[in-house]
Structure 1
Amino acid sequence: MNQLPDLDELLNAAHVVSLPMTVQFRGVRHREALLLEGPAGWGEFSPFLEYAAPEAASWLRSAIEAAWEGYPEPVRSSVPVNATLPAVGPERVEAVLASYDATHTIKVKVAEKGQDLAHDVARVAEVRRLLPDAAIRIDANAGWDHDAALAALEALAGFSLQYAEQPVAGIAGLARLREEVARRGLGIPIAADESVRKESDPLAVARAGAADLIVIKAQPLGGVRRALQIVHDAGLPAVVSSALDTSIGLRQGAALAAALPELPYACGLATGSLFSSDITADRFVAVDGALQLRDIAADPELLRRHAVGTERLAFWCRRLADCHGELLGANA
């Protein structure tokens, strides 16, 4: 949007919550988010705590787009989604997957700190045992180096992986790995996530031939319209994913998936099942493996119930102010 709301307007529209999770994910058991209520609806600003203002500002731009501008017209009303399996032991796989209504496609987290390849193989093997016909994709969050990634992909190739998401860090690392995977005939497509959303140029990975597909998220890429343009310019198939969002943030991701001209893969937008509570009584979760597009609004009672204390509220208001300053500078 051309005209940013004033900072005071954003602060007056802000609600900060902390939601409990059913399992540990990215090292946290509670997820904090700042929600904005604007003239077009609700938006979510929830950059992870380690992100400084220059990176987190794109997340604020996405929230402002949702709450002040709204979404582009959708081309579909239903968005298929995958289940996301954290790095749990094989004995917990069935229980975690039972919370999802999206078991046609499973995204399995691998390369967890403190674990080794045997843990990853056991987890993927248990998913394949339970769901022999499901599409399985893995996500390493750049947790392997080149040699470890090759060893892991060779060990996991027998499970017919749909793709491997960000197995190594950096665009050059992805390109080198993708070339070697092809040379060895492993048949595992390489997807770029961090190498799209955390790079100053999100198109660099496509120009380098470093990935077979890209993973896109509405918040980190600055909103639905900006993400749509990136997919168009990259010319690669796209998977829409979330950043461990509340139902409001998931609605932003669904708006992106619904507006893409083509949607060849199930989307990572079912992570609402990882929360034991949300900010709306009518939670945005999958039915028969898909999200049905609809408006989402926060419930006042749930906002009060999950509101953070004074210290955390001040922290998030400072983040909001810092990111607003970044956006003002970018628009100058």
Structure 2
Amino acid sequence: MDLPDLADLRAAAHVVSLPLVTRFRGIDHREALLLRGPEGWTEFSPFLEYDDAEASVWLAAALDFGWRPQPAPVRERVPVNATVPAVAAEDVAAVLARYDGCRTAKVKVAERGQSLRDDVARVRAVRAAMGPEGRVRLDANGGWNIDEAEHAVHALAEFDLEYLEQPCAEVAELAELRERLADWGIPIAADESVRKAADPLAVARAGAADLVVVKAQPLGGVGAALRIVAESGLPAVVSSALDTSIGLSMGLTLAAALPDLPYDCGLGTASLLAADVTATPLRPQGGALVAGRVEADAGLLRQHAASPDRHAWWLARLERCHAVLAAR
């Protein structure tokens, strides 16, 4: 695509810092750069540790969503899951209470500094809260090696797991673990092996996953993510990257456009934010979200504006990533 002028982007950029309800991914505030293009509001929010090459893909997604028409939806409502960070078991009920009507919970496990005993206690609390008909999936973010993952499955299988997301970091590890667990009936989902891979289809070709987790920003936009799902030949779950409601609207556009959506999507994460940039945050109602564009609220943009030094940091990042895209 033809890139919008950098000077115009810099002049229009809003950088916000939103507090979280509970610490997640090691942070207690989520920063994002927001822009309004001809098609509406859009978001550029790669995590702070990502280098410019990786972050530029997120910028491509933001510009695509703000400056280009998006694929037509095939559904209006998107069922979503609750997301339970690596909290203590006694805090699980309070987290789940923020997700109205959600029948599925994704539980973070393999947190650095915690033990399998912590994971078991957390998952047990989630299962107790969800009841026998609730769906419980686990996300290890690649935190286990093969043996650790197999051992964890033995300890956690009693909680009737829907699937296990990115238990190991490498595709070869996922493939071996999938073979070891063939008789357990627990599907393997690939997340980082899709969105952070030089070849996002390698995990599917290797037979290392039963489904893929896709996120619009890290994959370069809605259209790019749709192509990856189609070429993978696997069922897909659309998830978020702890976006503001504007970024979540991009993920919802993706989920609404997928031909098939067999799993609840990880797009209810506005419930992890203590504040947002719109007067009508995309929090689940009746276990679902309605797809559509989100309008930023000028007062909330001012209220949650990042400090001047953080604003400058994000503008510099925007400039570098714009240069990466311009050089392609």
Alignment TM-score > 0.5, same fold: yes
Alignment of 1:242-321 (within 5 A): 242-321=240-319
Q: Distance in 2 between matches of 1:3 and 1:102?
A: 42
Q: Distance in 2 between matches of 1:70 and 1:222?
A: 15
Give the equivalent residue in structure 2 for 1:107.
106
Q: Distance in 2 between matches of 1:278 and 1:176?
A: 41
Give the equivalent residue in structure 2 for 1:202.
200
Establish whether residue 178 from structure 1 lines up as the match of residue 178 from structure 2: yes
Q: From the superposition, tell whether residues 80 and 15 of structure 1 become closer, same or farther in structure 2 (CA, over 3 Å).
A: same
Secondary structure of 2:327's partner?
helix
Give the equivalent residue in structure 2 for 1:328.
326
Q: Distance in 2 between matches of 1:241 and 1:194?
A: 12
- Kindly provide the amino acid, as one letter, of the partner of residue 148 in structure 1: E
Give the equivalent residue in structure 2 for 1:214.
212
Instruction: Indicate if the aligned counterparts of 1:153 and 1:186 stay in contact, CA closer than 8 A.
Output: no
Establish whether residue 76 from structure 1 lines up as the match of residue 80 from structure 2: no
Compute the displacement of 1:285 (Å): 1.4
Instruction: Indicate if the aligned counterparts of 1:13 and 1:36 stay in contact, CA closer than 8 A.
Output: yes
Give the RMSD, CA atoms, in angstroms.
0.8
Compute the displacement of 1:266 (Å): 0.3
Q: Distance in 1 between matches of 2:293 and 2:191?
A: 27
Q: Distance in 2 between matches of 1:68 and 1:163?
A: 36
Give the equivalent residue in structure 1 for 2:120.
121
Compute the displacement of 1:100 (Å): 0.9
Between 1:222-231 and 1:57-66, the stretch displaced more is: 57-66
- Kindly provide the amino acid, as one letter, of the partner of residue 150 in structure 1: E
Instruction: Indicate if the aligned counterparts of 1:166 and 1:190 stay in contact, CA closer than 8 A.
Output: yes
Secondary structure of 2:181's partner?
helix
Compute the displacement of 1:102 (Å): 4.0
Compute the displacement of 1:294 (Å): 2.7
Give the equivalent residue in structure 1 for 2:44.
45
Give the equivalent residue in structure 2 for 1:234.
232
Alignment of 1:50-65 (within 5 A): 50-65=49-64
Please, which runs of 5 or more residues in structure 1 have no aligned partner? none
Secondary structure of 1:186's partner?
coil
**Aligned residues with identical type, % of pairs:** 60
Query: What per-residue deviation string (whole Å, max 9, x for no partner) do you get for residues 140-181 of structure 1?
Result: 000111111010011111111000000000111111111111
Compute the displacement of 1:218 (Å): 0.2
Query: What per-residue deviation string (whole Å, max 9, x for no partner) do you get for residues 169-199 of structure 1?
Result: 01111111111111xx221100000000000
- Kindly provide the amino acid, as one letter, of the partner of residue 117 in structure 2: A
Instruction: Indicate if the aligned counterparts of 2:239 and 2:267 stay in contact, CA closer than 8 A.
Output: yes
- Kindly provide the amino acid, as one letter, of the partner of residue 108 in structure 2: K
Secondary structure of 1:320's partner?
helix
Instruction: Indicate if the aligned counterparts of 1:213 and 1:238 stay in contact, CA closer than 8 A.
Output: yes
Secondary structure of 2:94's partner?
helix
Q: Distance in 2 between matches of 1:272 and 1:70?
A: 24
Q: Distance in 1 between matches of 2:282 and 2:128?
A: 29
Give the equivalent residue in structure 1 for 2:86.
87
- Kindly provide the amino acid, as one letter, of the partner of residue 147 in structure 1: D
Structure 1 runs of 4+ aligned residues shifted over 2 Å read none
Compute the displacement of 1:328 (Å): 1.2
Give the equivalent residue in structure 2 for 1:161.
161
Instruction: Indicate if the aligned counterparts of 2:253 and 2:292 stay in contact, CA closer than 8 A.
Output: no
Instruction: Indicate if the aligned counterparts of 1:41 and 1:70 stay in contact, CA closer than 8 A.
Output: no
Please, which runs of 5 or more residues in structure 2 have no aligned partner? none
Instruction: Indicate if the aligned counterparts of 1:35 and 1:43 stay in contact, CA closer than 8 A.
Output: yes
Secondary structure of 1:273's partner?
helix
Q: Distance in 1 between matches of 2:211 and 2:326?
A: 32
- Kindly provide the amino acid, as one letter, of the partner of residue 301 in structure 1: G
Instruction: Indicate if the aligned counterparts of 2:102 and 2:288 stay in contact, CA closer than 8 A.
Output: no
- Kindly provide the amino acid, as one letter, of the partner of residue 231 in structure 2: D
Q: Distance in 2 between matches of 1:191 and 1:62?
A: 23
